[in-house]
Structures are given as C-alpha cells and as structure tokens.
A and B are shown apart, each in its own frame.
Chain A
Amino acid sequence: MRVVVQQEPFDLGAEANAFAAADTGMGAIVTFTGVVRDLARGDLDVMEIEHYPGMTEKALTKIAAEAQERWALGDVLVIHRYGRLAPGDRIMMVATAAPHRKDAFEAAEYLMDYLKSRAPFWKKEITGAGAGWVAAKDEDEDALTRW
C-alpha cells in the first residue's frame, strides 16, 4: 500500500505504469483520477484544498487497509494533492490491483466513496466574484451505506 499527500502535481501515466508493472500476478488494474472541474459559468480561478496534516495520512491509510481486508487485492495506491489548483488540474488518484477485475473495480469505488467524506480535505472555490467552501453532499454520505 502506498499513500501520498502532496502539494505538487503527480505524473498519472508514470504512476499508473509503475503500479501496473509491480506484480505480474495481478490481472486487473483499475485507476481513477479526480480532476478540478470548472464551474458551470466557466469562471473558476482556483480550487484551494485544505487538509489536516497527520490525520489525512492516517485516514487514507485506514481506508486503504480496510479495502485490502475486504477485497482480494495485490496493492493499493492513493495520491491526494492539497493547495491551490486550477481547472483541469488533477487532484487525486487511486489505483487498485487484483487478480480479477471485480475486486479491483469495487475496491476503487469503495476507496473513492470513503475518501470523499472520511478523509479530512476541504475544497474552496475562488472566482473573480468571491470565494466559497464546497458543501458536502448528502449523496456522498449516503454512498457509504451501500458498503
């Protein structure tokens, strides 16, 4: 398992390639990448991501360990950025490796569901008109009940 919390960009291709090449016993690699989405008005200047250093790493590690307990996985990778990002920037990625795809897909969805509402990150959208914190969605909390 590898959990990384960093300000700087990550190389999606290099990370995915290295992850996929690590274990020849894995027949399925799933990767998910989160990207800063512009607002409907197209005026998002900055997405600022705040986090809780220390707790963030603990929370992500716990979520990844739970996924590994639940599914037959070879490995798990979680990278999440913080700081000031622009529309189109990659915020985070998860990757799961498993002998079979069902485990890899389900574990990746589980990681994303928990990471959205159980890892201490907060997003703030900054436009020319002002700044506002992104509110948590009920559907994100509801998504946890299916696990």
Chain B
Amino acid sequence: MKIGIPRGLLYDQFYPFFTRFFTELGAELVISPQTNKSILDMGAQYCVDEACLPVKVFHGHVCYLKDKCDLLFIPRIMQLYKDEYICPKFCGLPEMVINSIPGLPEVISHPFSATSMARLRQWAMSSASRITSNRRRVSAALDAAANEQSHFKTGYDDQGYPIKVALAGHPYNIYDTFINMNIKKKLNQLGVGVITEECVDEDDMEPEVQSLFKKPFWTFARKTYGFIAALAANQQVQGIVYISSFACGIDSVIIELVGDRTGEFPMLVLKIDEHTGEAGVDTRIEAFADMLERSVKLESNHSPHGQCVYRCKSPV
C-alpha cells in the first residue's frame, strides 16, 4: 500500500508525526519533492482562483502525487490547542482538493485534533482503517509517532550576524524556500540573521498574549503575535520581517495587532504570490537591511538609551 503525503502547508511542522505513523502501520510512503516551478504551475492551474498561494502550492503537491500512490493523505487539521483553531481553509482542504483535481486516488481526510491523546486516537483509528484493522498496531503507531514529534525541533536562530530580525509568518511561508524566494538566504547574505518563533520560549510570549483584550481565536495569530511582541519588547532583534501570502485573512489581523503593539519598531511586510521575479523582494529587503544598518550606526553614535524609532511596513 503506497500512501502519498503532499509536502505542503504544515508538512514541515508535522512530518515526523505523520510519516512515522504511516510507516509504523506498514505503509510505503511517497512524499512530493520540495516545491518547484511545475508544482506551482499545477497548483495554480487546478486550485480555485481565490485561494492563497500556500493552498495553491498544496494542490500542486497533490497533482504530483495523484498517479504515484494508492491512498492520498490530506490532513484536515482542525485544532492543535484547546479553544483555538487553524485557518478555515485547513478544515475544508480535502473538499477543496477533491473538487478541484480530477482523478484522485482514495483520500484519507479525517479531522485531526491534537488537543488530547483521546482525540488523536480517534483520528488514528479512522485514518488507519484502510491500512490495517489491528487496533493494537494502530495504537503503537500513534505512540511512536507522538514520541517522534515530541523530539522534533525546528526553527532558525542565527548567531554571529551584525543585525538580527524576527522572521515571522505562517510556517509554510517561512520554510518553503521556493515560495518565499529563499528569503533567509537573501537576508543572511546582507548580513542579517533571523530568529523564528520556534526558538522563543512560550513563557516569554504568554504575557504578551494575555495582555490582548481577548484570547486569539487562531493558533497562528496567538503564536505570531506573542513571538513578535515579546522580541520587540525586549529589543532582542532590530526589526521584523513578516512574510505574508497575498489575501491572507488571518495575517491582515495579526499585522494590525502587531503594529499597534510595537508602534515604531521597524517592520517589513513582504506579500508573496505567484511571482517568481525576485527584483521586487530584493529591493525591499536590501532597503530594509540598509535602513537597519544605518539606524544601528546612528543609534550607537547618538543615544545609547534612546528608543528605536524606526518602523517600516512595505506591503510588497
């Protein structure tokens, strides 16, 4: 039995869990390659027009896999934490894909909630039903997968660069180097190191989130807000680079919330879409790096205690 797993959306965050789970069940895995031009082209061709770029890219990964596997795994990720949800597009992802791409193999798309072990067990039993009926084996696979995921570390925390910025945004925009035009490499080449939210202690983020007038509904919003607000408050970074997919509803809220909290703190918002020409992104990050470099120099010349008064928001 070959199971196809698309390397899209939250794959980079949860592949240890999903790959281990299906491997333990005895399935053979087919995983789509890193996003490339043909995947993007197929995604844009099949996906509904209004979807954001990462969802289109996910469709492309499915297209790549559809003739190479017997079963296709499309995670319907509903909840990762109690009382919080993931972007609504994730809840309807299987339907979007099934209705847009013809000729798909059978799809595993049971709702995935990681709020408790009992919920996960429910998901595991239904998802495994097409592969094995041995409940003990499914249970063991789930334990192994959960264990694998708990040891998984991801994130960037560059050291030794003269300037450091918080690299924020949804994980798939940060880790898919094709859709973000390898922004980390570009920043590093300009002498700018990055840190991502996985490398910041949740305890530092929590007080910032608590100070909001209500608890954010979306996990992405809570984490990204907490991450940026904590780093900006402690002046641990000189600026923020926010990668956002064009037309993302959640980002439109987070960016405003963050802007209200951090005020004049330098922030560059890069909107990404199907563009593969890099001149636009290059100009914006070069100018941002220039600005940070010059303001750091100015600060060290003039006011050692002065507030950082530089902010930059570029809706690419």
Partners in one complex: no
